Structure 1
Amino acid sequence: MNTDLQIQNKKLELIQWLSTIEDLHILDKISDMISCERKKDWWDDISEAEKRSIEKGIAQADAGKLNPHSKARKIYGKRI
């Protein structure tokens, strides 16, 4: 069975199961889980190297080590 068909079948199974639930506590838990998934932070999905790079940039900005846009233009030219 191809993956797309498996996914569609699983969705239908879940929809059918969900439609039979009468326990408000369970429905609230499912709603909370869905809300948490929607609020997922991009920070959790980036690599450690990317996090270190961002943190380094924030530290430099906090220390006042900023360059104006005009200087970046001179350094990087048309790439930005």
Structure 2
Amino acid sequence: MGNEALKLELIEWLAQLDDEDTIQYLKVVKDSASEKDWWPNLTPEQRAGIERGLQDIDQDKVTSHEEVKKLFGL
């Protein structure tokens, strides 16, 4: 299916959509795709969490995806 046909299919689906949560989620997706820099929109807590995660990576305090899968039997 080409992009134009897919767009039309999505437009038809969206026009009939009644689920408020899905509509709001799609608005967030649309808005985030048009913004270049999302950092200013984060809360101080979100920024601090990201910075802690980056520090963990710098200090090699990480667990690989494979290790997590093994831990949970996946």
Instruction: Give the structure with the larger helix fraction.
Output: 1
User: Looking at CA atoms only, which structure, 1 or 2, has the larger radius of gyration?
Assistant: 1
TM-score (norm 1): 0.42
